[in-house]
Every structure is written in structure tokens, then in C-alpha cells.
């Protein structure tokens, strides 16, 4: 195994293979709340563990919470995969995430938008990491 930077696959970004963007479904949910078809209670349901991770390790964004508009949202990342707890492992630094790209195995990183004011949370994107 070598650490040559560019794999032969032609993938432009080794770290972000299998990228899936969930913005569309996130915006649909936001629109449903704004139009009254969904209640805030149904979407502002972040578990205490998620809020704790958001508080300790969340990456601040410049975006207002789409639901309460009281606070900027933060992004939290969880990695799921071989050898990790079933509830995933929260990522506390960019270094920690990049370390997964050198590990053997299949890992998927999920990035979740969280509002610490109203507990809004939604998946923003996911991508594969790891040395498959």
C-alpha cells in the first residue's frame, strides 16, 4: 500500500467519495414547517446527545436556523462503520475525520445541521471515508 496522493480511479477528491447532498429534502421539510403542514415539534427533536455534541464540537455556520431564526446553526459529524459504536462516533476535529481516510474499512460520515436554540436537526450530507 502506498500513500500516493492521487488514486487511479479518477476521483477528484479521495476523502469525499460517495457524496450525497440532502439539502433538497432538508428544504422540503423547512417549507412544510413554514406552510404549517408540519409542526415544529415534529422537526425540532434533537436528542440530548446530539445537542451535547453540537455544543461541544459543532462547527458554527453563518446560516440562521431555518425554523426559529434565533440562532446560527452548527454542523456536527458522525462516522459510522466497522469497529465503531452502533450510534456512530462523533467527530471532534477535522484531523480526526481525515485520520479515517487512512483506516482500513468502510466508514460513512454523516453531517447534521443542528440548532441549539430550538433543537432543529436535519441531515445535510453524507460521504464515504476510509481505505475501502
Residues at the interface with Zn ion (CB under 5 A) = 65, 67-68, 115, 117-118, 120
Of 15 and 30, which CB lies nearer to Zn ion in the complex structure? 30
Of 100 and 120, which CB lies nearer to Zn ion in the complex structure? 120
Closest contact distance (angstroms) between CB of 64 and Zn ion is: 8
In this structure, is the dihedral angle defined by the CA atoms of residues 92, 26, 84 and 98, taken in order, positive or negative?
Answer: negative
DSSP H helices in 7-81:
23-34, 40-43, 48-57
Cα separation of 21 and 24, whole Å?
Answer: 8
Say if residues 92 and 54 touch (Cβ distance below 8 Å).
no
Of 65 and 91, which CB lies nearer to Zn ion in the complex structure? 65
With CA atoms as reference, report the closest residue to 78 among 121, 117, 35: 121
Region of residue 3 (phi > 0: left; psi between -120 and 50: alpha; otherwise: beta): alpha
Closest contact distance (angstroms) between CB of 22 and Zn ion is: 18
Strands 72-81 and 121-129 turn out to be unpaired
Closest contact distance (angstroms) between CB of 62 and Zn ion is: 15
Of 39 and 82, which CB lies nearer to Zn ion in the complex structure? 39
Closest contact distance (angstroms) between CB of 71 and Zn ion is: 6
Amino acid at each position: 500500500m502506498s500513500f500516493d496522493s492521487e488514486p487511479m480511479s479518477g476521483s477528484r477528491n479521495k476523502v469525499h467519495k460517495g457524496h450525497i447532498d440532502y439539502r433538497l429534502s432538508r428544504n422540503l421539510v423547512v417549507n412544510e414547517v413554514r406552510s404549517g403542514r408540519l409542526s415544529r415539534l415534529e422537526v425540532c427533536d434533537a436528542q440530548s446527545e446530539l445537542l451535547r455534541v453540537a455544543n461541544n464540537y459543532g462547527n458554527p455556520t453563518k446560516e440562521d436556523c431555518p425554523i426559529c431564526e434565533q440562532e446560527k446553526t452548527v454542523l456536527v459529524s458522525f462516522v459510522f462503520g466497522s469497529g465503531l459504536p452502533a450510534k456512530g462516533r462523533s467527530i471532534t476535529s477535522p484531523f480526526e475525520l481525515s485520520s479515517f481516510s487512512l483506516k482500513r474499512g468502510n466508514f460513512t460520515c454523516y453531517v447534521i445541521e443542528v440548532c441549539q436554540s430550538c433543537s432543529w436537526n436535519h441531515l445535510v450530507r453524507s460521504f464515504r471515508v476510509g481505505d475501502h
